[in-house]
Structure 1
Amino acid sequence: MNDFLHQDLSVYQLALGVEAPAQTVALDPATLLSLVRAQIDLLIEQQQSTTLWVKLPPGKVWTTELTRYHSSMSESSYIYNFHVEGRKTGLEEENLTSLSNLSNNYLDIELSANNQIQREYFLIVLSANFCSLIAAYRPRKNNKFNNLEKIDNSKNQLLFTITSIDNKVIQRVLDGIQKEIFSNSQPIAPKKFICPTVCEPALVSQLLTKQLQRQTELNRRVGVERVAKLQQQNQELQTKERLKDEYLTNVCQELRTPLTQMKTALSLLNSPTLKPHQRQRYLQMLNTQCDRQGVLITGLMALIELEHNLEDAALELVKLSEIVPGVVSTYQPVAQEKGIMLGYTIPTDLPTVWCVNGGLRQIVIYLLNNSLKFTPNGGQVWVRAKVQGEYVQLEIRDTGIGIAESEISKIFDCFYRVRSGIIHEDGAGLGLTIVQRLLWHCGGSINVKSKLDEGSIFTVQMKIGKEE
């Protein structure tokens, strides 16, 4: 059964239009919900014959209150439920069986979609010795939204709200509703629009008590959530501070090591008994340590720039078949010089993946460089890719020196370098850190399997993207 309201009806404005209107307060949706729940609590407890005029925000949390009241209402009680054209509250679906048995006690009143009342919510309670009104208005934001449901479900937008038990205010609202409603086949009895002259003080007192109880519970819950959120934020800040301290400590240590060796070499060069071949060795030490410190500083700058740029970096769609072969070809001379067999299998029909601009090339360069560096002469390095579920999986496998099980969990840490007596590691120890952070930003991941003297397998997973 559908009834329609004219566009000039506004319950909120009717409540404001009396000689001494109630004071308007700005409430968040959670506080408004606590007021509604207090009303429902009182009605269920009193079990009186009641007429309910209601229009609540969409959402399960609101319809649950109507459902709760509907399931315990007496047969002489009525619900007149308002909704905007084409948008149901959900009460009908949840209680279809009950409503079919109480069709005479429930009336669905449909409002025109462009009606100003679509921005309002209200709950009017009428019984023989009690009446109350809650009317709320959702103001328009500066920016325009086409999706009204997104606005209705906002947890932060304040609602201008009026609450009243004044029969003059409520009667004015009822008169406005009665004037605008017309029915073709199921008229609403005129007595349903009559507000009792006086409310029983005991019921008003009970209502205020329940509102206080509901608000106290709401405040307690909000307080608990706020404390939990602050504790989480505090923990995150402490973790960031600890990581920053560890990072700075590692930076200082890494920069101090080459400086110490350079100072030692300079001291030895001042020896009056220094022989030519010793002088050459110490000069070479100076040159090596200067290069090492340069690599460290370059790596640090690269990591800092990456972290700064990743905050605003947009993802783009890239194809592995357009990036990987070119990087592999660049490293072919290095592989040939060490007698390493370097090959790849990258199907051209692989789907595109999400990555930051230039990120995929960096990932492949760092991983391929590591594999070649730690693979002895005569070894093998393969690069393969395939689809794995919602990801494209890139695998770089080598027959290098491998990584001890105790070191695998550390290799992505800043400045960590695998210690080996076979190969001298002169890098900054930041390559795998950069790879991991690039992948985190684009929703990917990396893991490694390795055994000493048998080689390593680095597996990268990148999320498949679709062309718009």
Structure 2
Amino acid sequence: MKSPRSSEASLYELALSSERPLHPLQVSPTTFKSMLTAILDLLIEEHLPATLWLKFPKGDTWESEITRYCTAATAPYTLYTLGNSQGDLAEAATPASSGHLSHLDQVSDLTAAELAGLVDSPAADSPVLTHQPQPTSLNVAAQSQRVVLPLGTESQFKREYLLLVMTEEFCGLILAHRPRSVRPSKPDSSPPERPLWLEELSPNSDEDIERRHPLLAIYTFESDTICRVLEGIHQAIAPAEAPEAVRADLESLVKHWEEWVLTAANITPNTRIVGQLLAKQLQIQEEMWHSTAIYRRQAEIATGLQMENEELQNAIRLKDEFLKTVGQELRTPLATMKTALSLLNSPSLKPPQRQRYMDMLTHECDRQSSLITSVLELVQLENMDDTAVTQPLRLSDVVPGIVSTYQPLAQEKGILLAYTVPQDLPAVSCTVPWLRQILINLLHNGIKFTPKGGRVWVLAKLQGDYVQIEVRDTGIGIAAADIPKIFDRFYRVRQAGSGEDSGGAGLGLSIVQQLLLKCGGSISVKSKPGEGSTFNVLLPVYR
């Protein structure tokens, strides 16, 4: 592979041009951060003096990781931050908090090898990285430095993030690159909603792109690759961009930069430490997986609870509406009865008028009784277990008895009532009370809305895995606008011509529908005003 010129290439390109081919991994910002955390934790736990070069994405989450290391460090360190923002450059001239020096007055007279702790330092107070007894936090802070290395304005590192660590035990590099292809075509458009974990990594809306998309990452201990990256950093440093107070020290550091490269080339990784690093990375990944699994389960539980809560609220709302409607329906006949009773007390009331009011009282009492009965039936249905046991029933054993019960009423109105139920029909899955209630409600409506001289009849036939029962009449029919509503609770069809409702509780068809749902059946209707109606009931064949 042809090696690109370090002054023109990005760090990622330089790393890929190494003698041994590297295979970048596509990782999320969360995984990239876990890789950085593993190395920093290892430095802390193993009390390793280190020199670090880093360039992290902007944001409090990433800055807090640096602060955590500086606070918890158990051995001296020198931390070089690559940056070219005004804030970074201002930091280069200002002492950092907690005793971490940002200036370079202790660095300018030292070679890079001395700073790396791999040769003896001529000065006792220099930041050497050789092993020594574990210092106190105050001693670590006093012997450590945090330095900002300003980059040229045309830096190729804008879309790259890295952590390069140099210790006696190993020299390692984590380098991430954000490809140009992840940039949106319309930067001004509103970004999509991001997951919480990504929001935490990207609190600043200005850096959405940096953390919303996967990165291409390189993780290596190869000296050739690390040396190429160090050369790239060397070419990018721009001492002229630094504040005047530290410019001379930066120039001296750059002058001795070749020592860093030679040092990196001569470090042989300690297999024990590398093994520890691998184990720590696996541990962090396992913790991340475990946390993700917990969050996923919690999200599933929360979603389930939310759905249950919505169902409960909907049930409460329906109950409230039901009670309100029942109250209104009970009050209507009572008001009519009260009016009739008041008129019956009139001394000048003639016998025909008295009889009319008495009939009105009887009608309203029947209506209220029907309403109360229907409401109780409906409540009983709703409280019934959905897994109620059905039984095999033959229509030829049930239909004739119900039809004969309604023959007197039909004859009184001059209506022909008949049925056709083949004897060889298979048994249906239902219960006797349910089937009787279904047929009674449908026959009652058919006779009620069919004028004198009309017909009502029941037909049964096999329809696939169901037995179809048709209850037909030649009555007044149902308007097209009413058909979608006739199975609603308390809905009563307006009689054609009069505009008055049909009386009754308005619950009969709703009860029929609920009963059929309980046994796995269904009901539909076809009707035209003036031509009559056909109610089609499907009952499953008993298996």
Give the TM-score band, short-chain normalised. 0.5 to 0.7
Range moving further from structure 2, 298-307 or 350-359 = 298-307
Alignment match, 2:148: none
- Higher gyration radius (CA): 2
Alignment match, 1:463: 540
Q: Which secondary structure state, in structure 2, belongs to the residue aligned with residue 393 of structure 1?
A: strand
Q: Is the 8 A contact 2:337 2:361 kept in 1?
A: yes
Q: Indicate yes or no: 2:297 matched with 1:225.
A: no
Task: For 2:350 and 2:397, locate their aligned partners in 1 and report how far apart those are by CA, in whole Å.
Answer: 55
Q: Indicate yes or no: 2:463 matched with 1:388.
A: yes
- Following superposition, the deviation at residue 379 of structure 1 comes to 1.2
Cα 1:224–1:352 change in 2 (3 A) is same
Provide, for residues 329-379 of structure 1, a one-character-per-residue CA deviation record: whole Å limited to 9, x for no partner.
Answer: 222232233232222221211111211342112111111111111111111
Q: Indicate yes or no: 2:330 matched with 1:255.
A: yes
Q: Is the 8 A contact 2:391 2:430 kept in 1?
A: yes
- Following superposition, the deviation at residue 240 of structure 1 comes to 0.8
- Following superposition, the deviation at residue 443 of structure 1 comes to 0.9
Q: Which secondary structure state, in structure 1, belongs to the residue aligned with residue 437 of structure 2?
A: helix
Alignment match, 1:437: 514
Query: RMSD across aligned C-alpha pairs, in angstroms?
Result: 2.6
Q: Is the 8 A contact 2:493 2:501 kept in 1?
A: no
- Following superposition, the deviation at residue 312 of structure 1 comes to 6.3
Alignment match, 1:454: 531
Provide, for residues 154-212 of structure 1, a one-character-per-residue CA deviation record: whole Å limited to 9, x for no partner.
Answer: xxxxxxxxxxxxxxxxxxxxxxxxxxxxxxxxxxxxxxxxxxx9993223212212212
Unaligned 5+ segments in structure 1 are 1-196
Could you tell me which amino acid in structure 1 is paired with residue 362 of structure 2? N
Task: For 1:273 and 1:332, locate their aligned partners in 2 and report how far apart those are by CA, in whole Å.
Answer: 42
Q: Is the 8 A contact 2:469 2:538 kept in 1?
A: yes
Unaligned 5+ segments in structure 2 are 1-271
Q: What is the TM-score with the length of structure 1 in the denominator?
A: 0.54
- Following superposition, the deviation at residue 249 of structure 1 comes to 1.1
Could you tell me which amino acid in structure 2 is paired with residue 294 of structure 1? S
Task: For 1:443 and 1:358, locate their aligned partners in 2 and report how far apart those are by CA, in whole Å.
Answer: 16
Task: For 1:209 and 1:351, locate their aligned partners in 2 and report how far apart those are by CA, in whole Å.
Answer: 65
Alignment match, 1:238: 313
Q: Which secondary structure state, in structure 2, belongs to the residue aligned with residue 240 of structure 1?
A: helix
Q: Which secondary structure state, in structure 1, belongs to the residue aligned with residue 456 of structure 2?
A: strand
Instruction: Decide which of 346, 354, 366 is 1:279's aligned counterpart.
Output: 354
Could you tell me which amino acid in structure 2 is paired with residue 228 of structure 1? T
Cα 1:376–1:272 change in 2 (3 A) is closer
- Following superposition, the deviation at residue 438 of structure 1 comes to 0.8
Range moving further from structure 2, 389-398 or 296-305 = 296-305
Q: Indicate yes or no: 2:380 matched with 1:331.
A: no
- Following superposition, the deviation at residue 310 of structure 1 comes to 4.7
Provide, for residues 22-45 of structure 1, a one-character-per-residue CA deviation record: whole Å limited to 9, x for no partner.
Answer: xxxxxxxxxxxxxxxxxxxxxxxx
Q: Is the 8 A contact 1:296 1:427 kept in 2?
A: yes
Q: Is the 8 A contact 2:466 2:539 kept in 1?
A: yes
Q: Which secondary structure state, in structure 1, belongs to the residue aligned with residue 304 of structure 2?
A: helix
Alignment match, 2:378: 303
Task: For 1:283 and 1:465, locate their aligned partners in 2 and report how far apart those are by CA, in whole Å.
Answer: 49
Q: Is the 8 A contact 1:448 1:459 kept in 2?
A: yes
Q: Is the 8 A contact 1:313 1:356 kept in 2?
A: no
Matches within 5 A, 1:146-225: 200-225=275-300
- Following superposition, the deviation at residue 292 of structure 1 comes to 2.0
Q: Is the 8 A contact 2:476 2:530 kept in 1?
A: yes
Cα 1:362–1:240 change in 2 (3 A) is same
Q: Which secondary structure state, in structure 2, belongs to the residue aligned with residue 358 of structure 1?
A: helix
Task: For 1:319 and 1:399, locate their aligned partners in 2 and report how far apart those are by CA, in whole Å.
Answer: 27
Matches within 5 A, 1:62-81: none
Task: For 1:290 and 1:247, locate their aligned partners in 2 and report how far apart those are by CA, in whole Å.
Answer: 21
Q: Indicate yes or no: 2:422 matched with 1:367.
A: no
Cα 1:357–1:209 change in 2 (3 A) is farther
Task: For 2:429 and 2:451, locate their aligned partners in 1 and report how far apart those are by CA, in whole Å.
Answer: 34
Q: Which secondary structure state, in structure 2, belongs to the residue aligned with residue 413 of structure 1?
A: coil
Q: Is the 8 A contact 1:400 1:454 kept in 2?
A: yes
Provide, for residues 1-41 of structure 1, a one-character-per-residue CA deviation record: whole Å limited to 9, x for no partner.
Answer: xxxxxxxxxxxxxxxxxxxxxxxxxxxxxxxxxxxxxxxxx
Q: What is the TM-score with the length of structure 2 in the denominator?
A: 0.47
Q: Is the 8 A contact 1:315 1:357 kept in 2?
A: no
Task: For 2:291 and 2:535, locate their aligned partners in 1 and report how far apart those are by CA, in whole Å.
Answer: 55
Alignment match, 2:427: 352
Instruction: Decide which of 494, 502, 508 is 1:425's aligned counterpart.
Output: 502
Matches within 5 A, 1:393-432: 393-420=468-495, 425-432=502-509
- Following superposition, the deviation at residue 319 of structure 1 comes to 1.4
Provide, for residues 123-173 of structure 1, a one-character-per-residue CA deviation record: whole Å limited to 9, x for no partner.
Answer: xxxxxxxxxxxxxxxxxxxxxxxxxxxxxxxxxxxxxxxxxxxxxxxxxxx
Cα 1:347–1:274 change in 2 (3 A) is closer
Task: For 1:334 and 1:270, locate their aligned partners in 2 and report how far apart those are by CA, in whole Å.
Answer: 34
Cα 1:238–1:390 change in 2 (3 A) is same
Task: For 2:464 and 2:387, locate their aligned partners in 1 and report how far apart those are by CA, in whole Å.
Answer: 28
Q: Which secondary structure state, in structure 2, belongs to the residue aligned with residue 406 of structure 1?
A: coil
Could you tell me which amino acid in structure 1 is paired with residue 323 of structure 2? L
Matches within 5 A, 1:25-64: none
Provide, for residues 33-69 of structure 1, a one-character-per-residue CA deviation record: whole Å limited to 9, x for no partner.
Answer: xxxxxxxxxxxxxxxxxxxxxxxxxxxxxxxxxxxxx
Q: Which secondary structure state, in structure 2, belongs to the residue aligned with residue 403 of structure 1?
A: coil
Size of the alignment, in residue pairs? 272
Q: Which secondary structure state, in structure 1, belongs to the residue aligned with residue 488 of structure 2?
A: coil
Could you tell me which amino acid in structure 2 is paired with residue 458 of structure 1? F
Task: For 1:334 and 1:344, locate their aligned partners in 2 and report how far apart those are by CA, in whole Å.
Answer: 16
- Following superposition, the deviation at residue 439 of structure 1 comes to 0.6
Q: Which secondary structure state, in structure 1, belongs to the residue aligned with residue 509 of structure 2?
A: helix
Q: Is the 8 A contact 2:492 2:501 kept in 1?
A: no
Q: Is the 8 A contact 2:492 2:502 kept in 1?
A: yes
Cα 1:258–1:352 change in 2 (3 A) is same
Q: Is the 8 A contact 2:471 2:536 kept in 1?
A: yes
Q: Which secondary structure state, in structure 2, belongs to the residue aligned with residue 285 of structure 1?
A: helix
Q: Is the 8 A contact 2:418 2:458 kept in 1?
A: yes
Q: Which secondary structure state, in structure 1, belongs to the residue aligned with residue 481 of structure 2?
A: helix
